[in-house]
Amino acid sequence: MHPEPTAELRHRTVEAPAGRLHLVEQGTGPLVLLVHGFPESWYSWRRQLPALAAAGYWAVAIDVRGYGRSSRPTATEAYRMLDLVEDNVAVVRALGEENAVVVGHDWGSSIAAVSALLHPEVFRAVGLLSVPYAPPGGGPRPTDIFDRIGGPEQEFYVSYFQEPGRAEAEIEPDVRGWLAGFYAALSADTMPAHGEPDPHFVARDGRLRDRFPTGVLPAWLSEDDLDFYAGEFERTGITGALNRYRNMDRDWEDLAPHRGAPIKQPSLFIGGALDASTTWMSDAVDAYPTTLPALSASHLLDDCGHWIQQERPDEVNRLLTGWLATLQG
């Protein structure tokens, strides 16, 4: 049985470089900062907040800038990784703490990793869900790499997201339907079968949603859950969320001084065996002895897709709280 997701949740906003950041907190004890991914919300941690609180932690889930009740800067370049990292630092300081454990999922995993890399004095440990840590690298610009992935017949979704307004024109007329399809496309129980068109790609002159499952919700997503997510993006629009993808080349330049740098703090990785984010980046997981030298454990959950803390909340909660307990010694 899951912990009650709404009991004793506290909402507030704090000042940050973004302007303001909305956060939801539960519990008392050592601070654990939870950072969501695309296209999500603090609500993606609704099953972790009570579990972490019950285990003796101060669990704080933020709305990343551009999402939910947090500020939405208008400039595309305001969503570069360095700015998101400084938002995380500002949250810890605004809460009156010297340091925190940071845990992220999807883009939040990357934000958490770079936060730990750039500010080891603030982030004493880092938990990564779904997206493995890959150190900043040289080589081609990210957009050049993604442009080559698709080939002549189709386009990789990251490339599709690059042009301002293009993906918005697909998503915003039917936010709820688009989100339902996107969540289903990457969930273990509803993702397309092997051999069917890959929903991470867009047919030339097509739409991303053309390859999404229709008429079915994954088991972890109730109609009420979908209503919450849809309501957030219907109010805010999707541009702030998409602008994260539109800064990958800027991040490549900004983080060049940290090329190949390991994260030396204690770390944890949890991935889904059926998640493309994990399988495509298997080389990054293999490199953990070098890139995460203080890794406590790396877990791959069988029959699990991308939305790992929502698909498998009890297992993720057990792994997170067990790992956090080892940090208190």
Distance in angstroms (rounded) separating the CA atoms of residues 48 and 319: 11
Partnered with residue 21 across adjacent β-strands are: 14
- In order of 96, 123, 224, the CA distances from 84 in angstroms are 19, 14, 29
Instruction: Give the whole-angstrom CA distance, residue 239 versus residue 244.
Output: 9
Q: Is 119 in the active site?
A: no
In the numeric block, the tokens 């907040």 are attached to: 49
Q: Which of 221, 224, 118, 234 is nearest to 174 (CA)?
A: 234
Question: Does the annotation mark 299 as catalytic?
Answer: no
DSSP string computed for 260-292: TPPP-S-EEEEEETT-HHHHHTHHHHHTHHHH-
For the chain, the 3-state helix, strand and coil shares in percent, each to the nearest 5, are: 45, 15, 40
**Gap between the Cα atoms of 67 and 40, Å rounded:** 8
Active-site entry in 63, 106, 251, 275: 106
Say how many C-beta atoms besides its own lie within 10 A of residue 83's C-beta. Answer: 18
Measured on CA atoms in the order 197, 310, 290, 123, is the torsion positive or negative?
positive
Neighbours of 156 (CB within 10 A): 19
Residues involved in catalysis? 106, 306
